[in-house]
Amino acid sequence: MGALQLPTYEKTRILNVKSKKTGYEWLKNYSNFKDQDFDANIEMILAEKKKFFSRKQLCILTVLRQYAIKYGVVNASRNTIIDAIEKQFGFKVCAKTVSNLIQKLEKMGIVVVYFGKEYDGSYTSNVVAFNTYEDMRAYEIAQIEAEEAEIERLMMQDLVKTDNARNYAEKARQWAAEKAKKDAAIESAKKIAEGQQKRETIYKKLMAFVAAKKINKSQAGQLAAILYKRINEAMQADNRLTQEQAELLAWDAFTVSIASKYKNLFALVSYKAKEMFDKFANGYKPSEFAAKRSNTSTGRTEQVPEWFNDRNAHTSPTTPDNTIDFEAERAKVLEKLGQTVK
């Protein structure tokens, strides 16, 4: 996939959406989920971006996801979306509210909008295509680089327009300071973005189990959705829990579940994930944060008592002499019987 471009809100695509031959199969051309699971990617995106949306916006986003369930592409009209929101959540929104949310999603790199036009010149509903988690990350980096380029252009433009030589040095120093500050901010943002990209997500870990033929791709997507749902619930309930810790706890729950012979894997994973997060609230730590065990460890560590090393420094107490003189005892018995010892 090529480098992502920033949205211009002027894109136009000629879409023959009313063709009876093609139906809605043409939406495949705009789908970004040919090899990935749509629901799992959206759950990963929301795990990081949910805090930037209001409750009403999340309700609208839920309806958009429902209309995009097949290919990750929405071609429903604003009125259709508004009616679905009212029917499902019980409140009305205006077309402007829906449009504002879609623009916000595009600016964040979560969707790409294509403005539709029929062959006869009339306009049709826009096509809203959801991006994958990796595409959203690449989009964020592209935005940072574009902002940097624009700052440099404006600064250079200011310098070129400066005719007064006495102010040139001061302008140059200001430009250098701003450039250094922006460079540091961009470098920090890039490192954060790259670090989060390199960090192996739960979905990628699950795909390793798919490759090992322990689960199939559909099951991997469902499991990822279950685990990220539990992660979101746990992080809202406990503000001490970081994203990395939550994913490690969820992964612990999956590894415990996959090793068992329980028939309903999805129910077991959901239960174990909740159990892990409950344990965390009581002081349990995820496995990656625990102390590393020795490769030769048998799983049991014997503790040496404090007195063991000083055991020879003390004098052993005197024990009574328990030896028996059998001849003397025999003489006593014979004497009682009135016999003499021979």
Q: What are the tens digits of pLDDT across the range 139-189? A: 888 888 888 888 888 877 766 666 555 566 677 778 788 888 888 877 776
Q: Could you give the count of Cα atoms lying within 13 Å of 260 in the half-sphere of its Cβ? A: 15
Give the chain's mean pLDDT: 76
pLDDT digits (tens, 9 = 90+) for 211-246: 888 888 888 888 888 888 888 888 888 888 888 888
More confident residue, 295 or 25: 25
Closest CA to 83 of 63, 110, 58, 103: 63
Q: What is the CATH number of the domain that holds 121?
A: 1.10.10.10
Mean pLDDT of 119-126: 70
pLDDT at 55: 92
**Which of 198, 213, 239 is at the close of a domain?**
198
Whether pLDDT at 342 is above 70: no
pLDDT at 236: 87
Q: Does residue 92 sit in the same domain as residue 79?
A: yes
Q: Does residue 18 sit in the same domain as residue 78?
A: yes
**Which of 131, 163, 190 is at the close of a domain?**
131
Cβ atoms within 10 Å of 287's Cβ, excluding its own: 10
Q: Does residue 177 sit in the same domain as residue 227?
A: no
Mean pLDDT of 309-324: 54
Strands 127-130 and 73-74: antiparallel
**Which of 81, 102, 131 is at the close of a domain?**
131
Q: Does residue 61 sit in the same domain as residue 22?
A: yes
pTM as predicted: 0.42
Predicted confidence band at 194 (pLDDT cuts at 50, 70, 90)? low
Q: Does residue 180 sit in the same domain as residue 215?
A: no
Residue showing tokens 């929405």: 74
Q: Does residue 50 sit in the same domain as residue 36?
A: yes
**39: Cα separation from own chain's centroid:** 13
pLDDT at 244: 85
Q: Does residue 192 sit in the same domain as residue 208?
A: no
294 lies in a domain?
no
Q: Does residue 269 sit in the same domain as residue 193?
A: no
CA 52/CA 295 separation, integer angstroms: 45
CA distances from residue 186 to 44, 145, 147, 174, 198 in whole angstroms, order as listed: 24, 8, 9, 18, 18
End-to-end CA distance of the chain: 113
154 lies in a domain?
yes
Residues spanned by the domain of 109: 12-131
Predicted confidence band at 105 (pLDDT cuts at 50, 70, 90)? very high
Mean pLDDT of 4-30: 53
CA 282/CA 314 separation, integer angstroms: 44
pLDDT at 149: 85
Predicted confidence band at 335 (pLDDT cuts at 50, 70, 90)? confident
Strand partners, 128: 74, 113
Q: Does residue 167 sit in the same domain as residue 272?
A: no
303 lies in a domain?
no
What is the percentage of the chain residues whose pLDDT exceeds 70? 69
**342: Cα separation from own chain's centroid:** 96
pLDDT at 94: 93
Mean pLDDT of 190-195: 62
More confident residue, 110 or 33: 110
Q: Does residue 113 sit in the same domain as residue 20?
A: yes
317 lies in a domain?
no
Cβ atoms within 10 Å of 150's Cβ, excluding its own: 10
